[in-house]
Every structure is written in C-alpha cells, then in structure tokens.
Structure 1
Amino acid sequence: LLRQEAYWDGMAIVPPLLLGYLLLGVYYNLTIWFKLTDKTYAGTVITVTGAVLTVALNYWLIPLFGYLGSAWVTAAVYGFMMLACYAWGQRAYPIPYRWLAGTLYIGGSMALVLAVNEYVISGSAEAIMARAGILAAWLVVVFLLEYKGLVRKPASIS
C-alpha cells in the first residue's frame, strides 16, 4: 500500500515495533496484580527500570544499527517489563494464566506473518485478498479452539 519508495526503508522497523507493542499490551494486562494488592510501587519500579534500560541500550545500539536497533530495544525492554511483572506478580498474587495457549496463538500468528511475507507477492489485489483470506482462516481456527470458553453457560435454578 505504500507506493512511494521513500517509505520502504522504514518497513524494517514494523515487525519489532509490533512485537514490542504486543508485549507492552501483555504487560498492561499483567499489571492487575499490583493494583489488587495495593503495591502500585511495583509499577513504578518496573517502568523506571524499563526507561533506564531503554536509554542505555539505545545509547549502545543506535550507533551500531541505527533506528532498527532502537526498534529492537523497544521490543526487548517491553519483553523484560512483561516478564518482570509476571514473575513479581506470581510471587505476590498468583494468577493461573493460560500461557501455553497464548504463546501458541502468538507464535502461530507470527509464523503465518512470516510465511505470508515470504511466499505471497505483495502489492497486487490478489495478494491483499490472499492475506485477508489467511487472516480470516486463522481467526476461524482460534474461534473454534476457544469456542467452549466463550459460550456462557445458563445459570442453574435451585
């Protein structure tokens, strides 16, 4: 969709930034434990640590890799913040997350993106339709696998 060649160089940062923001979204969902336990200082500790890591790693990697290094720093630091929040939270307020299913869905999505980018020629209307079809098929698979958990059971009347 980006027809001007001036934008093509910037496409390299899209995957690491998307991964980073996905990990940040998981982090935000994991932060529930310190709100429920009134330990909100944990959020400050994790965020400040993430900020210090971001500055330090950018200082080191931008001269070596340019803006692509900064994109990967973003993904790595958000991943660190997610893992730190999870580890701390499981000690303070254990929540039984379904990590295997979530990891498989994210991994499956990433594998599909890589496969589509490798084997589907981009730019044409057919390619856009093929990508939309693959996305729809993946959503159907996830829906079918999760359907039982989505259906609300009627309340029993005693």
Structure 2
Amino acid sequence: MHKSKADTARPSESVRVIKKYPNRRLYDTDTSSYITLAEVKALVMDSERFVVRDAKTNEDLTRSILLQIILEEETAGVPIFTEQVLANIIRFYGHAMQDFMGSYLEKNVQIFMDLQHKMAEQSSGMNPEAWKQFMNAQSPMMQGMMGTYMEQSRTAFTQMQEQMQKNSEQMLAAFGLKR
C-alpha cells in the first residue's frame, strides 16, 4: 500500500478509521478506498494507529480484525503458538487469573518488542559474519540483552504476584477476614 502526501502529513496522534461493511469489505476513510486484510496487517506492521468500526452501528471491531489477522498467520506458514499454548490461554478465560494473565502477557510482549528494537539498533550495518557473532547465545552482548529481558520478565511476574496478594487481602478484608 502506497502512502500519499496526505498520509505522511497527518499528525501522528490521529487515528485512521476503517469501516467494515456488511459485505465484509473494509473501507479506509483516509484513502477513500477499499482495503484488504493484508493491507490492515501492513498498517499494524508500520505501527499505524487505526480503529475498525462497523459501518452501520459504529461498534469497535478492531480486536475482531486483529484476531482474524492472527488466525490467518497461525494457519499459514509457521505458527507462533503451539496447541499447548493455545489450550492454556483458553483455560484462563473465565478464570480468576484472567486479568492478571492478560496484563502479564502484554508486559512480556512489550519487553520482548523493546529487546527486538534494541537488537536491531545495535546490529545495524553489520556484515553477515558480525551478525552471526552478535546472535551467538554465548556473546556477551546477547547474554546481557537476554539477562535484561529475563530480569524484566521476572519483575513483571513479581508485580503480578504482588497485585494478586493485594487483591486477595482486600477481598478478605471486605468479608471481615484478615490473613
């Protein structure tokens, strides 16, 4: 999808609106044209802010479209999620830990994205041999980055545990019970 001058001149705070019609077609209000799911995926890959709205009801359908993209990616090519991971995620729906699990996953994915960005910055301009050495799990730089990732993940888990304990204590106090 090509960007027009109007697209690049748009302030970064604006949110692109995509309308979904009953015929399942997606209409990009910025470009005044119909777009495909692949083009919506490209917006995600470009970190473009957008919202997908039902053309009739104005209901926010963004999550639904993002899940559809994930489903297509998972069924074509090499999936990210194993059947076991998917089954475990399903088990959290309706579970008391659902909110904590979502928050924990979100924090860990963000930490991983930050790590990926840092790796890309530090590896720019490397030749293939230098890249191979950089990616070697034994390299001090890689060990340092992975150590930072693991520590941040551990911190996110600790914060989740602390929040769970705080919520439990508040619930017990509400019932007149103390630990």
Instruction: Tell me whether the two structures share a fold, i.e. TM-score over 0.5.
Output: no
For the pair shown, which has the larger CA radius of gyration, 1 or 2?
2
Greater share of strand residues, 1 or 2?
2
TM (normalized to structure 2)?
Answer: 0.32
Higher fraction of helix: 1
Q: Which structure would you say has the larger RCO, counting Cα contacts within 8 Å and 6 or more residues apart?
A: 1
